[in-house]
Amino acid sequence: MKIRFGTSGWRAIISDEFTFKNVRIVSQAIADYVKKTNGKRLIVARDTRFMTERYARLVAEVLTANGIKVFMPENPTPTPVVSFTIRHHRLDGGINITASHNPPEYCGIKFNPADGSPAPPEVTQQIESIIASLEESKVSTMSLVEANRKDLLEIFDPKPDYLNALAKIIDFDTIKKAKLKVIVDLMYGTAIGYLDELCSKLVADIDVFHNYRDPYFGGDRPEPDEERLALLANRVKSKGWDVVLAVDGDADRFGIVDDEGRYVKANEVIALLAHHLYKNKNMKGPVARTVATSHAVDEVAKAFGEKVVETPVGFKFLASVLLNDKAVIAGEESGGLSIANHVPEKDGILACLLILEMIAREGKPLSQIRKEFREQYGNFLNSRVDFELSSDEEKNKLFEKFENLEQYSEDLKVTSSDRVDGLRYFFDKPGSWLLVRVSGTEPVIRVYFEAKDEPTYQKLNMLVRKISR
């Protein structure tokens, strides 16, 4: 079986490919990589999924047997907190046992190297190469009792340092003065004790949902998208709340619903917060986004005289822009962002707090802030359509049809195309584009498109439907 790292770690179905044997092998490969880079200290954390305590122990048993000291949080830990801890305590990396927003039958392993970012391709390729040649008999293990005796294991709480860091980034006093009424959905995940605890101290009224561990996530996937926040959106309208804040299972993605019960797409959140950071916090520097992310943030950067850095899909690419170019904000359409002087990793908790800060600073409802943004920058209509196919053969056939898109686009003229990541087309209507990406790990094709007017948006939508028939 070939173990591959995707855009954010290795994920597989529990008891199918995500087995004790494979967890040990992946842990040994990471240990070999870390030793090769002279690393000696790692954080090993976990989310709220089934058996993650046991998997984390397995990882720690392998790492400590390889002479690597393990720092292990006692409770489930958000991915951004793992990243923060690596940087704050100058560790050599971190492993989080998590499948993020995937369904409950999945588990996974995320690895962050010493800079705290998601492992880039040049790192994961080395780990995959080690895995491919590694036999289970070559995996070393040590009991945690012995590891503790040899000072190779330390149980600690990363939360206080992380919360103190957020207090230096977010204007808590202004949020308190705004006396906001907030709904928080923790989706049974790792933000329990983080986002709810912070908000309870900052807002006038709070209603918290799913604030206990359920490895089945209520029978759904822990993803804060429009469909899964629909019930809370109705509650906002009927009860007069200011905003819904939600995060996914490992708290690296966010979901927002405004005071009128309307879901706010991540594309829009990124642009709104870029405007807030430039205008209200006087931050300077570029913005960064992936090729699949709305160009709304480009217009904001342009208005403030700043540039845009575009990357392939995956926060591991945005992380380098945060680290090297000091991007004011880096974000992707799937619901991840971070900002300058924070962690080079997606942080859903930070995103939610920035939304509160923006509402408080503006002194207006989120719906009004959105309306004024559209008046200033224009409308950005965008969608993503996922085609789940039965085989790689079907996937390849559909992609070939998109490669011949101009045969189908009678009402839209293609002006240029590129292959920065996938296949992207630009059209003669200003601000209109379409991107097709093929999954490398499953028979799925994702199509992203955007326009600045409703007629063009509908034409793009119909074009995608026509090609996919």
Structural domain containing residue 210: 170-260+348-357
CA dist 440 and 124 (Å) reads 14
Of the candidates 323, 291, 335, 329, the residue with the CA atom closest to the CA atom of residue 307 = 329
> Does residue 277 share a domain with residue 251?
no
Identify the bridge partners of residue 330 per DSSP, sorted by sequence position: 288, 338
Q: Is residue 1's pLDDT more than 70?
A: no
**pLDDT for position 439:** 78
pLDDT of residue 441: 63
pTM here is: 0.96
Which residue, of 157, 180, 204, is where some domain finishes?
157
| Position 238 confidence tier, pLDDT thresholds 50, 70, 90 | confident
- Out of 2-16, 223-237, 298-312, least confident range: 2-16
CATH number at residue 288: 3.40.120.10
pLDDT interval class at 415 (50, 70, 90)? very high
Tally the C-alpha atoms within 13 A of residue 324's C-alpha that lie toward its C-beta: 9
- Give 237's pLDDT tier (boundaries 50, 70, 90): confident
* pLDDT beyond 80 at 8: no
Within a domain: 458: yes
Tell me the per-residue pLDDT of 118-141, one tens digit each, with 9 for 90 and over: 999 999 999 999 999 998 888 999
Domain-embedded: residue 164? no
* Structural domain includes residue 2: no
**Domain-terminating residue out of 101, 130, 157:** 157
Q: For 41-94, what is each residue's pLDDT tens digit?
A: 999 999 999 999 999 999 999 999 999 999 999 999 999 999 999 999 999 999
Pair type for strands 308-311 and 263-264: unpaired
- Residue 397: pLDDT above 70? yes
User: Residue 392: what pLDDT?
Assistant: 85
Q: Is residue 369 part of a domain?
A: no
Q: Does 376 have pLDDT greater than 80?
A: yes
Q: Check whether residue 106 and residue 125 sit in a common domain.
A: yes
Distance CA 191, CA 208 (A): 12
252, 124: one domain? no
Rounded Cα gap, residues 146 and 143, in angstroms: 5
Note whether 149 and 178 are same-domain residues: no
**Amino acid symbol at 349:** I
Q: How many distinct structural domains can be found in the chain?
A: 4
The rounded mean pLDDT for the chain is: 96
- Please state, in angstroms and rounded to a whole number, the distance separating the CA atoms of residues 281 and 344: 20
